[in-house]
Amino acid sequence: FLLFAKKGAQSCWYLQTKEPLLLGRVFSGIQPTGVPHLGNYLGALGNWVSLQNQYSSVLYSIVDLHSITQPQDPKLLRTNILDMVASLLACGIDPRRAVLFQQSQVSEHAELSWILGCLTSMPRLRHLPQWKSKQKNEGSVGLYTYPVLQAADILLYKSTHVPVGEDQVQHLELAQDLARIFNHRFGDLFPEPRALLSSTRKIKSLREPSAKMSKSDPQTMATVFLTDSPDDVALKIRRSVTDFTSEVTFDPENRPGVSNLVSIHAAMATISVEEAVSQATGLDTGAYKQLVTEAVVQRLTPIRLQVERLRSDPAHLEHVLAQGASRARELAAPVLEEVKQRVGFC
């Protein structure tokens, strides 16, 4: 059951469970790009559900401030935010166990980002991947300083652990550096957050298995979304790229397409890769695709139905965000106040 404890300026929510929860605070964020795809689910979101049951304090943010580093249609952005809330709830994020909130509703993120930005050198940002990927230095100031806001997101809650993919490790290192810089200049305040690397294999595009699955892939058959119908899932997997060898083996280097299907099958059926290959004994890749389809449909159907139900009640989704923002501010406000005092603002 849910308990609330308050000690001085700090307050926290936690669940009393049979197993003791790990000490520490987990923070992670996801951009509101609409309904997640299979790769998101098997990578970040499945891990998020596990972490909320393992740690004593967990915060998950829909990072809409980050999303506007690229042009956004305002109406679509609002729809995407609510779709993301619905998707997270449907996947198993429990607002009683984790603080689920919208980043822009907690203004302390932006305030701390400015202060940390004044401690960050331009060369340090110039070599981070979000900027290096832009040709001829094209891009907004927001994109350039994006990692500083990420650092503020993390440090604002004195987070100790951050689940990240390998492509985000450099951004977490900036948060660690800024914690050290602030602590050295103004006295110890921020813990240095540690990475929680996911062991889940990256899910690849069904049409181009050398690239990871992506929402922005122009090929409609490349990506399976959590709200895809069983027929859509079957069609996409049936048309997935494999090779001319009929036997099913797991060899990502030489057989990326078939190996991607094995990874999907193993993850969705919660079995090992070895067991997935064993179940494919005697099947050609065409027949194996049907087996993979069944595993995906079985796992996604209840999520799809729950997303549809939640989408039909936007007032409930707004209420979840409002409650989450209130709880997030209770944690963020005293930290920012302490930062302001140490910097000399008050």
Instruction: DSSP for 269-323, please give it.
Output: TT--HHHHHHHTTT-BHHHHHHHHHHHHHHHHHHHHHHHHHHHT-HHHHHHHHHH
Which of 214-218, 256-260, 292-296, 311-315 comes out lowest in average pLDDT?
A: 214-218
Q: Is 345 exposed, middle or buried (0-12, 13-18, 19+ CB in 10 A)?
A: exposed
Please tell me which residue in 158, 212, 236, 289 is annotated as part of the active site. Answer: 212
Fold of 220-312: Tyrosyl-Transfer RNA Synthetase (1.10.240)
The 3-state DSSP class for residue 132 equals helix
Average pLDDT, the chain: 91
Choosing among 3.40.50.620, 3.40.50.720, 3.40.50.300, 3.40.800.10, the CATH entry for 22-201+314-343 is: 3.40.50.620
Q: Which residues pair with 164 in a beta bridge?
A: 197
Domains 22-201+314-343 and 220-312 share a fold: no
Joined tokens for residue 173: 């290192």
Mean pLDDT of 282-299: 97
Domain-by-domain residue ranges, the chain?
22-201+314-343, 220-312
215 is catalytic: yes
d(CA 211, CA 222): 10
Joined tokens for residue 143: 């994109």
134 is catalytic: yes
Please tell me which residue in 158, 202, 204, 215 is annotated as part of the active site. Answer: 215
The pLDDT tens digits for 220-250 are 999 999 999 999 999 999 999 999 999 999 9
Which of 86-95, 127-136, 316-325 comes out lowest in average pLDDT?
A: 127-136
Joined tokens for residue 12: 């926290």
Please tell me which residue in 134, 136, 202, 204 is annotated as part of the active site. Answer: 134
Residue 271: closest CA among 239, 246, 299, 244: 299
